[in-house]
């Protein structure tokens, strides 16, 4: 049985006051000691869901927990949430970013292995493993959907895009993509971002969504507006769905979350991304 080495076990509450346990653990993967933060609610139902939250470039798992507030969502709804740490604060999303991409580290292998460890320990429902992330973490979520569709039922990229040339998921994966119209790091319309630090020329978000709708064999989308959020949603094969939530005036940030640095864009108040992602995930388990 796969086992992780527990380094630090916190007491009965998360830093946000959520009711549960916070653990910091290490897992060997690809010859490397990989670390992650874990939140386990005090009241965990049988066969819970699992959500991986992937930090952005220069971030950490602990930072992602503070930024998104997913501990509180997990405590309210009874699911396990893990915040892995990328190598040197970066993820190998194939075309980006930093030390992880340059070294070719197998982040897909690490994250799939982490899901296996947590499924075994907490009897996680294998039909309900999900991944979300912002920026470099959102790019990584798309790579997981392309290369590990048998593990993840749905993903929730925030302020990211599908930037890999080859993507052949083995089954439909639901996608909720959240993006700000004023994002200058990974622009909605694509191209090189005015605030970007990687030099990448990004695929546009509309092209990303069209591409994923083809992969998931989706029907034509329906459009609606909720305040400053334009929602475009398609129903797809095998009960999957692909949805884009575009926030008018939103920047490169986690909507409804915490601003982690004065250098980063202020989070939009038009959408609670954490709550929206959990509602989407809960509605889209993997189906036969």
Per residue of the chain (288 residues), give pLDDT as tens: 333 333 334 434 455 557 999 999 999 999 999 999 999 999 999 999 999 999 999 999 999 999 999 999 999 999 999 999 999 999 999 999 999 999 999 999 999 999 999 999 999 999 999 999 999 999 999 999 999 999 999 999 999 999 999 999 999 999 999 999 999 999 999 999 999 889 999 999 999 999 999 999 999 999 999 999 999 999 999 999 999 999 999 999 999 999 988 888 999 999 999 999 999 999 999 997
Expressed as residue numbers, the domain containing 111 is: 9-282
Residue 169 is assigned to a structural domain of this protein: yes
pLDDT value of position 14: 58
pLDDT value of position 17: 55
pLDDT value of position 18: 76
Secondary structure letter of residue 268 according to DSSP: P
Residue 176 is assigned to a structural domain of this protein: yes
Among 51, 77, 76, 49, which Cα is nearest to 64's?
51
Residue 258 is assigned to a structural domain of this protein: yes
Residue 147 is assigned to a structural domain of this protein: yes
Residue 4 is assigned to a structural domain of this protein: no
Q: How many domains does the chain have?
A: 1
Residue 156 is assigned to a structural domain of this protein: yes
Residue 155 is assigned to a structural domain of this protein: yes
- Letter string b/e over residues 120-129, b meaning 16 or more CB atoms within 10 A of that residue's CB: eebebbbebb
How many other CB atoms sit within 10 Å of the CB of residue 277?
Answer: 25
CB 243 within 8 A of CB 154: no
- Letter string b/e over residues 105-116, b meaning 16 or more CB atoms within 10 A of that residue's CB: bbbbebbbbbbb
Rounded Cα distance between 71 and 132, Å, is 14
How many other CB atoms sit within 10 Å of the CB of residue 176?
Answer: 26
Residue 215 is assigned to a structural domain of this protein: yes
CATH of the domain at 43: 3.40.50.1820
pLDDT value of position 172: 98
The answer, as to whether pTM is greater than 0.85, is: yes
């Amino acid at each position: 049985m796969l086992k992780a080495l527990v380094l630090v076990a916190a007491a009965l509450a998360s830093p946000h006051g959520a009711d549960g346990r916070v653990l910091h653990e290490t897992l060997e993967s690809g010859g490397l000691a990989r670390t992650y933060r874990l939140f386990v609610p005090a009241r965990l139902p049988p066969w819970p869901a699992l959500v991986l939250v992937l930090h952005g470039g220069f971030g950490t798992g602990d930072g992602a927990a503070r930024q998104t507030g997913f501990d509180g969502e997990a405590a309210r709804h009874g699911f396990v949430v893990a915040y892995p740490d990328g190598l040197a604060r970066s993820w190998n999303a194939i075309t980006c970013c930093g030390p992880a991409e340059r070294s070719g580290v197998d982040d897909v292998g690490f994250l799939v292995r982490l899901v296996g460890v947590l499924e075994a320990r907490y009897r996680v429902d294998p039909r309900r493993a999900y991944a979300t992330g912002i920026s470099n973490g959102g790019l990584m979520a798309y790579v997981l959907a392309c290369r590990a569709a048998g593990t993840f039922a749905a993903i929730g990229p925030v302020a990211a895009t599908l930037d890999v040339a080859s993507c052949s998921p083995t089954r439909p994966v639901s996608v909720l993509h959240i993006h700000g119209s004023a994002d200058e790091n990974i622009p909605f319309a694509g191209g090189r971002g005015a605030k970007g630090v990687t030099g990448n020329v990004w695929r546009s978000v509309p092209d990303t969504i069209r591409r994923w709708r083809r992969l998931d064999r989706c029907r034509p989308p329906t459009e609606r507006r909720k305040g400053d959020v334009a929602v475009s949603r398609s129903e797809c094969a095998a009960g999957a769905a692909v949805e884009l939530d575009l926030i008018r005036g939103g920047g490169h940030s986690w909507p409804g979350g915490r601003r982690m640095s004065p250098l980063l864009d202020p989070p939009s108040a038009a959408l609670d991304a954490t709550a929206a992602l959990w509602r989407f995930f809960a509605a889209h388990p993997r189906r036969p």
